[in-house]
Amino acid sequence: MLLTQISTTALRALLVVVFAAAVLGKLRTGSDGMAEFTRWVGSLRVLPSSLSRPAAYATPAIEAGIAVLLLLPWTQTAGFACAAALLAAFALATWAVHRRGIRAACRCFGQSTAVLGPRHVARDTLLTLAALGGLAFRTLGALPGPSTAPALALGLAAGVLLALGVLFLDDITALFDLG
């Protein structure tokens, strides 16, 4: 039971921090940030041009909504399910962009010069698996009982550390020249 509490808390923290950072990165300069993000979504040519603008504006709202769902105890299962669906869509879109040879900088968390590629597909796939893991904990009867402070603290610390790895993936790969 303790391992379930730690794991569920870690997965929630990971996803909440990642989605919150994504929202803040897109909205960092108000309408300028959203205008830039909207142009970027259109440049990916994943969606018909008529859907690019609505999708760009919906993305941070959906990400924020998922973070809220994950924070509230009675909506965590829905939060994990929505996170898994959105992250799987991101992974597929990133894979399609890469396969078509479109060289677009990653704007997932705001500004970046790193070109979307296999590491971004892997990142989104691993985040999808994290969301599915959280969903499994919530739906397969492994629901945590009353939380203990040490379990919450350990899970929160683990989730935040994992999120930092996700958020700084491009910097880490550049540091080690992992391309």
**Chain segment 64-105, per-residue pLDDT in tens:** 999 999 999 899 999 999 999 999 999 999 999 999 999 988
Q: Structural domain tally of the chain?
A: 1
pLDDT at 5: 81
pLDDT at 3: 78
Distance between CA atoms of residues 11 and 46, nearest Å: 29
pLDDT at 141: 61
pLDDT at 2: 74
Which residues in 128-165 are b (16+ Cβ under 10 Å) and which e? bebbbbbbebbeeeeebeeeeeebeebbbebbeebbee
Residue 178 confidence class, pLDDT cut points 50, 70, 90: low
pLDDT at 148: 80
Range of the domain at 40: 2-175
Which string of DSSP letters, residue by residue, matches 151-177? Answer: HHHHHHHHHHHHHHHHHTHHHHHHHTT
> Do 109 and 59 contact (CB within 8 A), yes or no?
no
Residue 140 confidence class, pLDDT cut points 50, 70, 90: confident
Distance between CA atoms of residues 84 and 68, nearest Å: 15
DSSP state of 39: H
Global confidence as pTM: 0.89
pLDDT at 57: 92
Q: Which of 11, 2, 13, 10 is nearest to 145 (CA)?
A: 2
DSSP state of 107: -
Query: Residue 20 pLDDT > 90, yes or no?
Result: yes
> Do 129 and 175 contact (CB within 8 A), yes or no?
no
Residue 169 or 83, more confident: 83
Tens digit of pLDDT for each residue in 98-131? 999 999 888 778 667 788 899 999 999 999 999 9
Average the pLDDT over each of 32-46, 51-65, 90-104, 138-152 and give the range with the smallest value. Answer: 138-152
